[in-house]
Chain A
Amino acid sequence: MTSSSAVSGALRGGPATDPPAPGPGTARRRDRRPRPGRRGTLAAFLTPSLVLFLLLVVAPIAVASYASLYKWNGFGLPENFVGLDNYTRAFADPTFRGDLWRGLVLIVLSLVVQLPIALALAMLLNQPLKGRSVYRLIFFAPYVLSEVTTAVLFTLVFSPNRGLGDTISRWLGADAGAVFGDPDTVLFAVFLVVSWKYFGLYMILFLAARQSIPKELSEAAVTDGASAWQAFRHVTLPLLGPTIRISVFLSVIGTIQLFDMVWVLTGGGPIHASETMAVTMYQYGFRRFEVGYASAISIVMFVLSLVFALFYQRVVMRRDTEGALTNQGDQR
């Protein structure tokens, strides 16, 4: 799932308007089988991406699932078959169980804090404000930075004794200099940085979706006596549905795989208080050389993402993706 497809989805906007249904008998189901001459063309265009897909996506998944059944330090070939021991070990490991819990906390936080803020800002910047394109640019700017750059930046901001955040917080009588060094606050500090980086993306998505809603609809609602809130709640918000759903999707998948930011900001610490599944996997795979166990963690991440993606696309986004993914052809 790339953000460009999300943007095009957002730009499509509005409810999935059904194409006029073909009358019975007017258009027979199109024959989907390619004519012999086109087969070569199809093969020529498909092969490169298929090969890449198999090599870079399917093969690593297969190798990782295989390795996850072995106790293996990564040298030579795996020989010590342990069955599902790595998985039972993961689910008994307090750190990994903590990863799942922290992942859930981050998901809930982004759904109830980050996305609503992005939505509110998008609505605000849709109003005829002076210099609103400047605001849009400023709010979107953090998204352009890489995660590592962002993390280094905030390490400096919240550097104890010398950081900007530390200085400002002391003027205000607080002490923000140790937020990354305190197990009680570190997860929220990480969430703050992640939100800072990504709220601009969601804001732009929501803004694009908002602009594709015809003015007439809310005007009609207002003419009918709806208050501004009612017009937003009952006209705008439902029409933003597809974009909101795709944003939730991106947000959840992104959180399950969160790594770079945490790794640079805190390394998962102190005492695992900001560790995510990907960080735990890295620790075991590349620090402790327990590649079998690390593979098991990566497979759990993969399965979680896959199950969520399938469930979400089939159930929640069914209307948005109809035809594109559900392959119902012309039979509606």
Chain B
Amino acid sequence: MTAHLSRRTLLGLVGAGAGAYLLSACSDDESGDPDGPQTINWWHIQNTEPMLPVWAAMAQEYQGAHSNVTVKIQPLENEAFKAKLTTATQAGDPPDLFQSWGGGVLRQQVDAGLVKDLTDDVRPWIGGLLPAALQPFTIDERIYGVPFDVGMVGFWYNKDLFARAGITAMPTSWAGVLDVVRKLKAAGIVPIALAGKDKWPGHFYWAYLAMRIGGLGALQQAAKDKNFDTPDFVAAGERLKELVDLQPFQKGFLGAEYGSPDGQAATIGNGGAAMELMGQWAPSVQASSSTSKKGLGDKLGFFPFPAVDGGKGSAAEVFGGGNGFAVGKDAPAATVDFLKSLLTADSQRRAAKTGAVLPTVKEAAPAISDPNSKIVAENLANATGFQLYLDQAYPPAVGQQVNDSVAELIAGNKSPAQVVKDVTQVAKSQ
């Protein structure tokens, strides 16, 4: 058995940080004169249609209006972006403008002094954005990033399969969800598609349950106290275990990915399972990974994660996140102005029209055309509270531990009590 991860590659990975740190001293610093020639290095993750050409066109227009500015765009695939940004930030040399989800990762970058405090620069126009969208990018009351997209996680379901199982009303409680699952199983339908290999889709269940049982405050308090070992979090695990015990997931779900040709999204898109708990991007990924490339179309429906009986949280509190941009510490002067141009109501309308972006600028909301996106946007606009994905909100080690431990709970390998103990242990070690 031979594999070619040589010692050199391996240690190179670790050493890359240190090496690049030295090299970064050589990079040019152009943050002087705002009217002088400058180059903005922009990393985004909309590396496919429909947003790829939209960003490119916006950059082109900005360059046309500002002859001294060159925008160098580097579109990257999500995972590739994370790996590349990690090496760049660890080397102390972040790009000028780059994708961010806010939360714990952004906080680490802020603590390391890698990103610019934008609070004063954006004050004149930031009021036009949805406050919920801005929350993940606000750290200690300062703004370190600007969101261009915001959404939430909820249940996406196949109307035909629900009808075939005789389900007419959407569940309004967790017990109702379990009932729906039982009915679907009785009708010979796979109730839920889940990407076990990717882990993060599984954490949505645990996080939403914890939010409904303990309330929004419980999630924030736990992070502050570094203690998840509370009855509410254990109860969340127990409710999830009730679901897992019904064996609601598709065959081989522990090895399934989210976006692969036989993954979670494709299973829904091909009608192979009745529902999934997923974010606002679900319809477009279902469509692109389904065999027909069209997904379920108008057979797809959405209902928010219901309340849990006796829980402190309400069904009007949403769990989700969005995409935004942060500005690197050495970014040239024009970067913030360019960022502003990406977030005008007009730019946001153009982005919203693609159907791939739910705009954060309130004025652009009417440009949402897709009916499912409209429902999500309505739920968001009426939300009474907002919680960012736990694997983004918490420090990376804690977030990953949540994903890992919940995955083990779903695999039947860990008890609800062990999950909170493991997460607490990692949180305390941070």
Q: Mark A258-285, 1 if CB is under 8 A from B, else 0.
A: 1111000011011100000010011101
Spot the interface stretch: A19-27, A71-79, A121-129, A132-140. Answer: A71-79
Interface size on B, residues (CB 8 A): 53
Q: Does B196 contact A (CB under 8 A)?
A: yes
CB <8 Å contact, B1 and A259: no
Query: Closest CB-CB distance, B192 to chain A, in whole Å?
Result: 15
Q: Does B3 contact A (CB under 8 A)?
A: yes
Q: Mark B18-52, 1 if CB is under 8 A from A, else 0.
A: 11000000000000000000000000000000000
Spot the interface stretch: B9-17, B158-166, B278-286. Answer: B9-17
Q: Does A244 contact B (CB under 8 A)?
A: no
Most chain A C-beta atoms within 10 Å of own C-beta, residue among B11, B198, B199: B11
Q: Does B252 contact A (CB under 8 A)?
A: yes
Spot the interface stretch: A218-226, A247-255, A324-332. Answer: A247-255
Query: Closest CB-CB distance, B327 to chain A, in whole Å?
Result: 17
The answer to whether A181 and B14 touch (CB under 8 A), given A257-B3, A270-B254, A287-B396, is: no
CB <8 Å contact, B260 and A57: no
CB <8 Å contact, B197 and A60: no
Query: Closest CB-CB distance, B331 to chain A, in whole Å?
Result: 18
CB <8 Å contact, A254 and B1: yes
Taking CB atoms and an 8 Å cut-off, the chain A residues in 172-193 that contact chain B are 177-183, 186, 191
Q: Does B112 contact A (CB under 8 A)?
A: yes
Name the one of B11, B82, B253 contacting A181, with C-beta atoms under 8 angstroms. Answer: B253
Q: Whole-angstrom distance between the alpha carbons of A161 and B111 in the complex?
A: 47
Q: Does B382 contact A (CB under 8 A)?
A: no
CB <8 Å contact, B255 and A270: yes
The answer to whether A177 and B86 touch (CB under 8 A), given A201-B2, A259-B3, is: no
Spot the interface stretch: B54-62, B305-313, B318-326, B407-415. Answer: B407-415
CB <8 Å contact, A257 and B1: no
Q: Does A298 contact B (CB under 8 A)?
A: yes
CB <8 Å contact, A257 and B396: no
CB <8 Å contact, B260 and A160: no
Q: Does A195 contact B (CB under 8 A)?
A: yes
Q: Does A91 contact B (CB under 8 A)?
A: no
Taking CB atoms and an 8 Å cut-off, the chain A residues in 150-183 that contact chain B are 155-156, 159-163, 177-183
The answer to whether A160 and B15 touch (CB under 8 A), given A258-B5, A270-B196, A288-B396, is: no
CB <8 Å contact, B407 and A269: yes
- Residues on B with beta carbons closer than 8 Å to the beta carbon of A259: 3, 5, 10
- Residues on A with beta carbons closer than 8 Å to the beta carbon of B99: none
Query: Closest CB-CB distance, B328 to chain A, in whole Å?
Result: 14
The answer to whether A291 and B407 touch (CB under 8 A), given A258-B1, A259-B5, is: no
The number of inter-chain residue pairs (CB within 8 angstroms) is 183
CB <8 Å contact, B252 and A178: yes
Query: Closest CB-CB distance, B369 to chain A, in whole Å?
Result: 33
Q: Does A107 contact B (CB under 8 A)?
A: yes
Interface size on A, residues (CB 8 A): 72
- Residues on B with beta carbons closer than 8 Å to the beta carbon of A43: none
Taking CB atoms and an 8 Å cut-off, the chain A residues in 60-86 that contact chain B are 60-61, 63-64, 67, 73-76
Q: Does B373 contact A (CB under 8 A)?
A: no
CB <8 Å contact, A269 and B400: no
CB <8 Å contact, B90 and A74: yes
Q: Does A42 contact B (CB under 8 A)?
A: no
Say whether chain B's binding surface is mostly helix, strand, loop, or mixed: helix
CB <8 Å contact, A286 and B7: no
CB <8 Å contact, B89 and A250: no
CB <8 Å contact, A161 and B255: no
Q: Whole-angstrom distance between the alpha carbons of A29 and B262 in the complex?
A: 68
Q: Whole-angstrom distance between the alpha carbons of A291 and B407 in the complex?
A: 23
Q: Does A56 contact B (CB under 8 A)?
A: yes
Query: Closest CB-CB distance, A313 to chain B, in whole Å?
Result: 15
Q: Whole-angstrom distance between the alpha carbons of A159 and B266 in the complex?
A: 12
The answer to whether A106 and B1 touch (CB under 8 A), given A160-B256, A266-B197, A270-B254, is: yes
CB <8 Å contact, A271 and B407: yes
CB <8 Å contact, B15 and A63: yes
- Residues on B with beta carbons closer than 8 Å to the beta carbon of A295: 14
CB <8 Å contact, B397 and A290: yes
Query: Closest CB-CB distance, B159 to chain A, in whole Å?
Result: 22
Q: Does A301 contact B (CB under 8 A)?
A: yes
The answer to whether A287 and B262 touch (CB under 8 A), given A59-B19, A63-B18, A270-B197, is: no
CB <8 Å contact, A160 and B19: no
Using CB atoms, name the residue of chain A closest to B262.
A159
Q: Does B8 contact A (CB under 8 A)?
A: yes
Q: Whole-angstrom distance between the alpha carbons of A76 and B17 in the complex?
A: 10
12 contacts between A and B (CB under 8 A): A61-B15, A64-B14, A75-B111, A75-B114, A160-B252, A160-B262, A161-B252, A201-B2, A251-B1, A257-B5, A289-B396, A302-B10
User: Which B residues have a C-beta under 8 Å from some C-beta of A?
Assistant: 1-8, 10-19, 82-83, 86, 89-90, 92, 108-109, 111-114, 196-199, 250-256, 260-262, 272, 396-397, 400-401, 407-408, 411, 413
User: Which A residues have a C-beta under 8 Å from some C-beta of B?
Assistant: 3, 55-57, 59-61, 63-64, 67, 73-76, 106-107, 109-110, 114, 147, 155-156, 159-163, 177-183, 186, 191, 194-195, 198, 201, 250-251, 253-255, 257-261, 266-267, 269-271, 278, 281-283, 285-291, 294-295, 298, 301-302, 305
With A67-B18, A76-B92, A107-B1 known, 18 other A-B pairs at CB within 8 A are A3-B2, A55-B19, A57-B7, A59-B15, A73-B108, A75-B92, A155-B260, A160-B252, A161-B252, A183-B254, A198-B2, A250-B2, A259-B10, A261-B3, A266-B255, A270-B197, A278-B10, A283-B400
